Amino acid sequence: MFKKVLIANRGEIAVRVIRACRELGIPTVAVYSQADAKSLHVRLATDAFCIGPAQSSESYLNIPAIITTAIMTGCDAIHPGYGFMSERADFVDICEQHNIKFIGPSAESMRKMGDKATARRTMIENNVPVTPGTGILKTVQEAREFAHKAGYPIILKATAGGGGKGMRIVRNDDELETNMTLCQQEAQKFFGNPGVYAEKFLENPRHIEVQIIGDSFGNVIHLGERDCSIQRRHQKLLEEAPSPAIDEKTRQEMGAAAVRAAKAIKYEGAGTCEFLLDHDGKWYFMEMNTRVQVEHCVTEMISQVDIVREQIRVAAGKELGYKQEDIKLRGHAIECRINAEDSENGFMPCPGTIDAYVAPGGFGVRVDSHSYPGYKIPPYYDSMIGKLICWGETRNQARRRMYQALKEYVILGVKTTIPFHQQIVEDEVFISGKFNTGFIEDYYKRIGKEFK
């Protein structure tokens, strides 16, 4: 096992990794920006070092500072969490050059899946369904020819993209040239790569993810699927597992496809294959996230597999602790992302000081958070305060438990999404389970409010 692990992240995921390392008996090193000096992960780690000012580019994305700290403190592994360095193949290369294990997939696997056009080709070669699409587009005419063949609407995507950025929906020829230019500009700005490709756009599908874990011995398992369709402009707000839209046959087919995809690139670590499910029940590969995800908790709750712990174990050269036949999914879990945002004003971030903080509890209730009374939410990063996860024997029991937990969750001093989530889990369409990625916009229409 590793001698010491540096956590190259912040917030709740840094706390989550520290706790997993503690259970494995591994000392930890936290790195933090000046804005995060009083963050919980700094207090919980064995050691902590400031690596720069508040700006991410000078701290959590500062590769020399991270590597220097790891070497100075004797760390033989780095856990990247999600975001920041988690999908930077060049960072993996640098870790290897300094004999530091990156807790995640190889740089080669990351590059194959990080480039969306390459990922599509890999899926096609391994009999995984994909939506009709193109390679990297060189001209507007290429995009126009594809649109006429596949039929509008189409979606333009940054080949190096993620997180809902670098994406543009195009519904006719008149919109194509402008949107392609804007998409290329966004791709360059956010990812340093202007390449874009096109896919047939599915109107309001379900967004389904399959969790996989692989080891260095070629073993890969899946832990079932989760439904991430409740989202606002590609930003997830609520997730649940399993999906109320998936039957057992489809679950097994999707899981097998995700395992084939992971084995094809010799994937090591925790990862997620994302699929789109259309109104006819057909499903298509969208992309692979080569990291642990925010919503991994709902999968942990129904599978009873500690994904982060297993991620660390396989990175240390251990064989997977589970075979596929060992995985038995039980019950239902729902996760609400509790953000410091004003849902009445376009989900505008609301940084500030938390005056009072009381987390809910009880059977089947889990809170992953880095917040506490007096904690100051900085304006420089994601506005997440924490994640509330509730489990039940049935979906309705999990939903009712979530509603009660949300009522118990007290956060004063900043506006949060708690009232919004209370409304969602009591909404009749959500209760029915018959929703899609257009749910939030539809919800605002039904309650007579403007969708921002």
Q: What residues are labeled active site?
A: 291
Round to whole Å and give the CA distance between 265 and 108: 8
Note whether 254 and 224 are within 8 A (CB). no
Round to whole Å and give the CA distance between 307 and 201: 32
Note whether 93 and 107 are within 8 A (CB). yes
Cα atoms in the 13 Å half-sphere on the side-chain side of 119 = 29
Round to whole Å and give the CA distance between 116 and 129: 14
Pairing of strands 206-214, 220-232: antiparallel
Amino acid making up residue 4: K
What's the burial of 283, exposed, middle or buried (CB within 10 Å: 0-12/13-18/19+)? Answer: buried
Q: What are the Cα distances from residue 120, in Å, to 147, 204, 418, 433, 434?
A: 18, 21, 37, 30, 29
Report DSSP letters for 97-147, one per residue. HTT-EESS--HHHHHHHHSHHHHHHHHHHTT--B-SB-SS--SHHHHHHHH
DSSP three-state, residue 323? coil
